[in-house]
Every structure is written in structure tokens, then in C-alpha cells.
Amino acid sequence: MVKKIFFIFLPLTLLLCSCATYQTPAPSLYIGNLPPSIVSELSLDERILTEEVWKNLKEGKGNKAKKIISKLGSESPFYYVGLGYVYYLLNDRRAAEEFFKASLRDYPNMTLNHFGLAQIYQEIGDEELAFVEYREILKREPENPWAKSKYENIKIRKTGETLSEANSFLASGNLERSKAAFLKALYYSPMSTEAHLNLANIYKKEKNYQTALVHLKTACFNEPENVEIQKDYAETLFMAGENKKSLDIYEKLNELEPGNKKIEERLQTIKNRLGIYELPSQYNSIQFSEAVSKEEMAALIGIRFKNILKETPGKPPIIIDISTSWASNFILKTASLGIIDVYPNHTFQPKKIITRAEMAEILLSLIDRLKKEGYNFIQQIPPEKIQISDVSPDNYYYQPIVLIISYDIMTFSLDKIFNPDLPVSGHECIKFLNIIEALIK
């Protein structure tokens, strides 16, 4: 009996099914909402038609939406983008792409076009173009959840693939292909520290330090607490000749790792390059000195004119009595430049007090050196008109005294007394050097 009932109902069921209307399910298509800023500019009739188009598109009714769009006309801001979605629903991806692109030409900031293009490119397997479209959406709608998840998925996968490829090329010694792959990784993940560091190393091997610095700077920004990256950046700045920037970073590193010999040695090298000296406490006390010594005068000149006086080629003079002087570096520099003399027995006598006559000779030597560097000095008083009552013309210091007075740097009293044997105070020394600095500005 059961079998009889089954065989009776089976043909009836098939007959009813054959009479039913089959409806194709709407495709999995993301269609964004109409932008209010553009919709608000439409007339009431245009707004009603546009909203009806969008309702049909979201329901997957492409042909119905197409008929309504024809009523809108090509002047409507939603004409081409609407046709893009229509032809997407009708499975004509090529026509859909052209309509989205046509809409973009007139409305480059309309996100609806990028939604459509992203889905077309994703569907045909062109993830690179899809990635671009997702990125354009996020520029305008940073928190769009639909675009963000798809963007991140491509970003993570493609970054991993390109980094793996780049490392393989790097391991095989193919720097050019490795470089290209790391750069492609940055296309997907611009802040990838791994890519930036590897590119910096490749560019350093090519001695392209400036480009290496661009990548290291970004890596430092990504990981400001990473001391090893900071060291790499500081050293590359040093190699590129950017000593001041390198000095700043090495000084911070020195605070983080006190006692690190490599950092301390590099700091000293950079300071020597820049002509920077650690000023001992003795230097600051010169201004209060009642009688300036030769080492103090060497320090004053060496520091005040460190960026002007260039080093001379060749071996420095042999000086046997300055190893314990706090101003030994300055003494070597001024002696090498011939500004302050070394005695024939190779002594400098750093503690010797300088007289006014010796000061005149030192200042004149400084002026002669500055003239060689391209600075001009004009005599204010003709030398032949200068008469000094307490220094005879046959005195060893007569000529330098007359010349330094002619420049109006040192002076004598109204009764033409110079007092050549008196010591010079620190305050006077600084005043003389201030005058010379003013003359070369």
C-alpha cells in the first residue's frame, strides 16, 4: 500500500515543480550606500529614481535597475556607476569595469566606483589591482569594515610572500632581485621594518648611504626603543658624512649604554671631525685670569676659531712638554698653524705668562692665518704714523706691535706708552679676540 501511494505522488510532485518559477539568487555583491553629499544636490524626482535604482541593485535585479537608469540619463552622477553595477549583475565584467572607470573620470572621489572595481579585480584574481582599489576606499573611509578586512587579508598574504621571495634572492646573492622584492613588500606594507632594514643593508653595500638612511630612519620610527637599529642608523650617518646628526644619536646611545667602548670611540672620532672638544673647567676660568698663559691663549684661539681655521697638511710639530696640559689639543692646533710658536728646543712652556708684546705677535699671526683663509683686514692707522715711546724700532716685537695697533686691535696710552712687558688679563684677551671676530663677519 505504501509503495502504491509513493508511486502516485512522485509524478505529481515532479509536475508541480516543473510548473514553479525558478529565481536566480542575487550574487554576492557589495554595493555601498548612496553618498548623501551628492544625493542632496539632486532634484526630488532624480532622488526618487536613484534610490529606486539602488534598491533594485541591492536586490540583484539588474535588468529592472537598468530600465530605471535610462530614465535618469547620462547627466546623472549615478548613471555610469549604476550601469557598472548593472553589468556586474548581468555577468559582463568587462562592460562593468568600463562604466566604473567612466564614472571615476567625472567623480574621482566617489567610493562607489572603487567598491565595484575592487570586486571585479578580486574576482578575476588580480589582487594587486584589487589592493589598490581597497586602499582608495580606505583613504576616504578609513574604518569601512568591508574594505578593511579584505585589504588586510591581501596585505598580510602578499607581504609575507614578497618578503619570503626577497630573502631567498638575498640568500642566493642576487641583490638586485632581492632589492626589487623588498621594495614590492613595502608596496603592500610601507612600514615593514624587516624590508626597510634589509634594503638599508643592500644600499650600504652599494655605498648608497643616503638611500640607506631613508630606510633606517623609517625603521627607527617604527621601533624607537630598538637600540640596535639606532646604532645602525647612527653609524650609517657617520659613514655618509652627516657627523652632526650622527653625534646626536651616539650621545643618546652613550646615555643608554654608559661604558660601551665602541660608542665612546665613535663619539670621540666624530667630535674630532667636527672640531668639538670637551671643555675642561679651566677654560671657563680664563676670563677671570689676571695673567693669561700660553696654554690658555691656545685654548681661546682654538675654540673661538674652530670652524674657521683649517688644519694644515703634514706632520704636526714635535712638542715635548704638553702631555699633561689640559689644553694639549689646542696647543697642537695653534702651533701647527704657526699662530703660537714652539721654541727651538721643542718646548712650548704652556704655563708661561704672555706679555703684551707677545700678545701682539700672537694676534698678528692669527690675522695672517685668517688672511690665508680668505678674510680681509684693513689697517685703520697708517703704520708709519705710529710712534711708541717705550718700544724702540730695533726691538724684536716693534713690528708686530705697530701692525696690531694699525688694525686698532691693541692700543697704547695717550702718552704713547704700550707697556710691552706687562701681562695680559683674560678679560683683555677675550676683548682682542672679539674685535677680530667682528672684523671677519
CA distance 61 to 23: 11
Task: Determine, yes or no, domain membership for 249.
Answer: yes
Residue 434's pLDDT is 94
Grid look-up 692646533 returns: 333
DSSP letter string, 191-229 = T-HHHHHHHHHHHHHTT-HHHHHHHHHHHHHH-TT-HHH
Q: Give yes or no: residues 312 and 430 share one domain.
A: yes
Single residue among 274, 309, 326 that ends a domain in this structure: 274
| DSSP H helical ranges for 79-174 | 79-89, 93-106, 111-124, 127-140, 145-171
Task: Determine, yes or no, domain membership for 180.
Answer: no
Number of structural domains the chain divides into = 3
Task: Determine, yes or no, domain membership for 59.
Answer: yes
Q: Give yes or no: residues 287 and 429 share one domain.
A: yes
Residue 275's pLDDT is 67
pTM reported for the whole predicted model: 0.58
Mean pLDDT by 10 residues, the chain (441 residues): 37 35 52 93 94 95 94 94 96 96 94 96 94 95 94 96 96 96 96 96 95 96 95 95 93 93 92 73 90 96 87 82 92 94 95 97 96 93 93 95 96 91 96 94 79
Q: Give yes or no: residues 418 and 285 share one domain.
A: yes
Task: Determine, yes or no, domain membership for 48.
Answer: yes
Q: Say which residues have a Cβ less than 8 Å from residue 220's Cβ, sequence separation at least 6.
A: 226, 229, 230, 233
Single residue among 216, 244, 274 that ends a domain in this structure: 274
Q: Give yes or no: residues 320 and 374 share one domain.
A: yes
Q: Give yes or no: residues 327 and 213 share one domain.
A: no
Q: Give yes or no: residues 412 and 289 share one domain.
A: yes
Q: Give yes or no: residues 288 and 372 share one domain.
A: yes
CA distance 441 to 436: 9
Residue 383's pLDDT is 93
Closest CA to 232 of 212, 256, 248: 212
Task: Determine, yes or no, domain membership for 342.
Answer: yes
The CB density around residue 407, as the number of other CB atoms within 10 Å, is: 19
Single residue among 142, 177, 207 that ends a domain in this structure: 142
B/e letters for 95-113, b = 16+ CB within 10 Å, e = fewer, are ebbebbebbbeebeebbbb
Q: Give yes or no: residues 106 and 123 share one domain.
A: yes
Q: Give yes or no: residues 289 and 435 share one domain.
A: yes
Q: Give yes or no: residues 288 and 385 share one domain.
A: yes
Residue 358's pLDDT is 97
Q: Give yes or no: residues 412 and 286 share one domain.
A: yes
Domain ranges, residue 425? 281-439
Q: Are the C-beta atoms of residues 199 and 182 closer than 8 Å to each other?
A: yes
Task: Determine, yes or no, domain membership for 240.
Answer: yes
Q: Give yes or no: residues 361 and 246 share one domain.
A: no
Task: Determine, yes or no, domain membership for 266.
Answer: yes
